[in-house]
Amino acid sequence: MRVLLFTGKGGVGKTTVAAATALRCAAMGQRTVVVSTDPAHSLADSLDRPLRGTPTPVADSLWGLQIDATERLEETWGEVREYMTRLFDWAGLDAVEAEELAVLPGLDELFALTDINTLARSADYDVVIVDCAPTADTIRLLSLPEVLSWYMQRVFPVERRVMKLARPVLSRMTSLPMASEPVFDGAERLYRRLEGVRELLSDRETTSLRLVLNPEKMVIAEARRTATYLGLFGYHVDAVVANRLLPDSVSDPWFKAWKESHACYLDEIEQGFAPLPVLRGELAQEELVGPALLEEFARCLYGELDPAAIMYADETVRVEAKGEGRVLALRLPFVEKDEIELGRHGDELLVRVGPYRRPVSLPDSLRRRQVESARVEGDWLEITFGPVPAAEGGAER
């Protein structure tokens, strides 16, 4: 089983690349499903096939689907939605407003994760290809499993116990609708559908992310930041797709400056993202819509390569001995030292890069040690832990 996620700045052609990759995998005999998690949904337009919220046949060995948050809401969020609607109605909103507000921010990403998890763990497909939303939404999508896990393990049980105790008293004091046990059951049931998704998406033998970019300054800068944030959460990028390059056959003098610019940016991409392989997609003469044109584009993009193969594999976390101390290293490509904030809470190391924070559970060998220093060395954040305190003594567990 392979899961491939394509992401990039809006407008770089990631939907085209994802659709073309899916057709190529299917043509090689792999049972493939391509999924769109982008609320703007252009996958059906690219394939020139109608898609629904369930896998729809597109070609031999290929299915496609576009996740419909409203449909998933009816299926898995019924009790919570009903409670939220009653709550907003109590607050004085009309029925339509209450219905709209019951779709909480982030539900699209949550439903996308449950669908990806279900498809990947079924025996129906060999390859799951995900056409992700633009990069900021993708980072939020991929950070959800860790954030939800932290909330469900630490906060949710407390909230549930408190509400169970307070509900009988508060219901006599106010007409405010109280969250009932079925509401908490609904939230927990949805979370259980996500079990194992973090392990699935961070398993480098199963899941790879591919960054799609154009030879433009702002696009490359965003791709670099995306690579850093993906590294923070331990996800594996195995290739970069440089898309919409001017073909060598274009010789018109009007395009000379563009070709020179593309060549310079391509060098920057290949050197900056090394050792990741850089796949090259040329600017087509016409809009790439429909299986025939997408299959031709995929042949040019991948050549003789198997699109589902792991194109590059590297660790994202490692622990090394350093005398009596230990070094925890996190792979954060392109990160700058002043972007990083470190903290510690019990057995967790809190790492913040830019707007994103990740709690890293420390292995047993580091939990009794204190952080002594941290530095950025190449693509790695290296955090040095001192020796086990003398008072504790004993061998490492």
Show the domains of the chain with their CATH numbers. 1-313 (3.40.50.300), 317-385 (2.60.40.790)
Identify the residue with better confidence: 137 or 344: 344
Instruction: Give the pLDDT confidence of 292-319 residue by residue, as tens digits.
Output: 999 999 999 999 999 999 999 888 899 9
Q: Which of 180, 200, 226, 246 is nearest to 332 (CA)?
A: 226
Q: Is the dihedral of CA 305, 307, 308, 314 positive or negative?
A: positive
Give me the pLDDT at residue 147, please: 65
Q: What is the mean pLDDT of residues 341-357?
A: 90
Q: What's the CA gap between 264 and 215, in Å, rounded?
A: 9
Confidence of residue 115 (pLDDT cuts 50, 70, 90): confident
Q: Average pLDDT over the chain, rounded to whole?
A: 84
Which range, 165-169, 182-186, 202-206, has the best average confidence (pLDDT)?
202-206
- Average confidence (pLDDT) over 155-160: 56
pLDDT at 252 over 50: yes
Greater pLDDT, 188 or 231: 231
At 207 the three-state DSSP class reads strand
Residue 157's alpha-carbon distances to 153, 287, 307, in angstroms, are: 7, 52, 43
Q: Determine the average pLDDT of the residues in 334-362.
A: 90
User: Do the strands 380-385 and 325-331 form a parallel or antiparallel pair, or are they unpaired?
Assistant: antiparallel
- Tell me: the pLDDT tens digits for 22-71? 999 999 999 999 999 877 778 999 999 999 888 999 999 999 998 776 66
Q: What integer pLDDT is reported at residue 197 of this predicted model?
A: 82
DSSP secondary structure code for residue 110 in this structure: H
262-280 average pLDDT score: 95
pLDDT-derived band at 360, boundaries 50, 70, 90: confident
